[in-house]
Amino acid sequence: MMDATCSDLLAEVRAFRQRYPEVRYVDLISLDIPGHFYGKRYPVDMLEKVAAGSALKLPQNCVLLGVQGGLFKIGDYCFNDGDPDALRRLVPGTLKPVTWEGQPLGQMLITSDGTDNPIVFEPRQVLAQVLDRLAGKGIHPVVAFELEFYLFDKKLRDGLPQFPRDGLTDDADDQPNMHIERLSRFARYSMKWSRHRVPRASTAR
């Protein structure tokens, strides 16, 4: 009998296929230790089988890839363990369309956390262990993020971007600071930010 998680995943995949029939492949992605995505491009029809409970495996030591493509040596991993495959699972609620590629694609997060034999050094597994310890102490952390951005003039100089001009002094706004008056001086841009749904709590640098 299919458990509730598999049933929900299967419903998620089928709903995605119905909404995006042009998508033939889905990138199943996970994070390595430096924070880069790795994974496998999967035919969307085969994704239904994984959602229904078929095994999904990737090399265990992909997690250990460094920023330059080499491997971190942790204990006997990588060089003495034969680089075995490890189970991964689909993360519910993460199947989304990819709109910036040249072909229609989807993407979905995968992880070893929650499998029968999670990878102890996978970032999501490490985080899960930390959360378990905090929960045992009655602590429930939350995470928020703040968008930070730079303003540039629309006009290029010698093919390069340049700082915007301060409407009051006509000086180049080349000194990042947190002065609140800068919000007034660049108020003409704030309407554009709101139209593009840039959060008002964002910080201009």
Least confident segment among 2-16, 130-144, 167-181: 167-181
Q: Which domains does the chain have, with CATH numbers?
A: 4-136 (3.10.20.70), 144-205 (no CATH)
User: Which of 89-93, 136-140, 156-160 comes out lowest in average pLDDT?
Assistant: 156-160
What does each C-alpha distance from 133 to 106, 116, 140 come to in angstroms?
34, 20, 10
Residue 199, both tokens: 């959060």
Band (pLDDT 50/70/90 cuts) for residue 1 is very low
Per the model's pLDDT, the better-predicted residue between 123 and 81 turns out to be: 123
Helix axes 4-19, 44-51, angle to 10 degrees: 160
Q: Which helix (H) or strand (E) holds 5?
A: helix 4-19
pLDDT score for 17: 96
State the average pLDDT for the chain: 81
Residue 8 has pLDDT above 80, yes or no: yes
- Rounded distance between C-alpha atoms, residue 143 and residue 185, angstroms: 32
| pLDDT of residue 204 exceeding 50 | no
By residue count, the chain amounts to 205
- Going by the DSSP 8-state scheme, the letter that residue 118 receives in this structure is -
Helix or strand or coil: residue 86?
Answer: strand
Contact 85, 55 (CB under 8 A): no
Contact assessment for residue 182 and residue 173, using Cβ atoms and an 8 Å cutoff: yes
